[in-house]
Amino acid sequence: MSADGLDTEILSADIAGVAGAAELLRAGALVSFPTETVYGLGADATNDHAVARIFDAKGRPHFNPLIVHVPSLEAVSEIAVLSGPALDLAQAFWPGPLTLVLPLKPGGPLSALVSAGLPTVAVRVPAHPLAQKLLEAAGIPVAAPSANPSGRISPSTAQHVLDGLSGRIAAVLDGGPCEVGLESTIVGFDPAPVLLRPGGLPVEALEAALGGAIAVRQASAGITAPGQLSSHYAPNAQMRLNADEARPGERLLGFGHVEADLNLSPSGDLVEAAANLFRYLHQLDIEGDAPIAVSPIPDHGMGRAINDRLRRAAAPRN
């Protein structure tokens, strides 16, 4: 046992290793696996708690949307809407080092935490044979950022993964070094295709398939700009943070041992609170526009990412 409480298992690239990794993923555990770009830190993308554990293991101070991995185009249609130029690119380059940002399938199965509350989801069909086998065996969409602690470089061997995350994840499936060693190219749709992150698939290949130049926008500009965030992320109701109790007319989004309309984690567990956060904000939004008071959330571990998200939601709107 390590200080973080898990004995990270090293699974070999054979039938038993793949079956073991698939079972762990289905059970909600974190498993790192190779893709042709870099090693991913995988979790069941339909399970709020499993996805919350990704952010906890990486020590990320904020929630950013994750890439969801599936084995085939058919599997994509269960989670997202694939049409127009996105379908053309998918047919040209999947499986491969390309990620497409697509509209979420209405009523689909993904955890709201995967897309950090956005109406879109980044999807990838990786070409690595071991990733393919694992995704087929798991039978669930797998959310996976690169398998490194926040702020460190992306891992291209199982040993890199262990160097950064040993003791924080259940297992790593060892498929040897990754071929590309650089993250996937990300394309969004405006609705015209937009390059959000250059990566393993050369821009020239994209442009050849599209029959023309592709517009470029930094992924960070699209996601972390506060204006964009508030338009997608904030409930309509006013929010008041660090509230010890609700004032008359307010609803309480609680944390810990308080009487609340909704409680992120009655036991004060920050990973549980992260798992519930986006779903509860959405639910409060649907239920009405009475102002929302939010209990204080400890500002350590996952609490930092939760507070970052709450501050954005509570910021003045324009």
Paired strand residues for 120: 103
Which residues, at least 6 apart from 166, have a Cβ–Cβ distance to it below 8 Å?
A: 2, 8
Binding residues for ligand TXA, total number by CB under 6 A: 28
Distance CA 116, CA 112 (A): 6
Query: What residue 99 binds from ligand TXA, Mg ion, none (CB within 5 to 8 A, per partner kind)?
Result: ligand TXA
Cβ contact 180:37 at 8 Å: yes
What would the x/- binding string for ligand TXA be over residues 36 to 55, using CB under 6 A?
Answer: -xx-x---------------
Give 95: exposed, middle or buried? Use CB within 10 Å, 0-12, 13-18, 19+. Answer: buried
Task: Kindly tell me which residue out of 32, 120, 157, 263 binds ligand TXA, with binding defined by CB under 6 A.
Answer: 120
Q: Is 135 in the site for ligand TXA (CB under 6 A)?
A: no
Task: Tell me the two tokens of residue 26.
Answer: 């289905």
Considering only residues 69 to 98 of the shown chain, the ones binding ligand TXA according to CB under 6 A are none
Stretch that binds Mg ion, among 142-150, 164-172, 225-233, 269-277 (CB under 5 A): 142-150
Q: Is 313 in the site for ligand TXA (CB under 6 A)?
A: no
Distance CA 93, CA 75 (A): 16
Going 37 to 38 to 42 to 46, the CA torsion angle's sign is negative
Stretch that binds Mg ion, among 52-60, 63-71, 114-122, 143-151 (CB under 5 A): 143-151
Task: Kindly tell me which residue out of 146, 156, 263, 265 binds Mg ion, with binding defined by CB under 5 A.
Answer: 146
CA-nearest of 145, 177, 143 to 158 is: 177
Q: How far is the CB of 257 from Mg ion (least distance, A)?
A: 37
The residue with its CB nearest to Mg ion is 146
Distance CA 57, CA 40 (A): 13
For binding to ligand TXA (CB under 6 A), which residues are involved?
A: 35, 37-38, 40, 64-67, 99, 101, 115, 118, 120-122, 124, 144-146, 183-184, 186, 188, 196-197, 219, 222-223
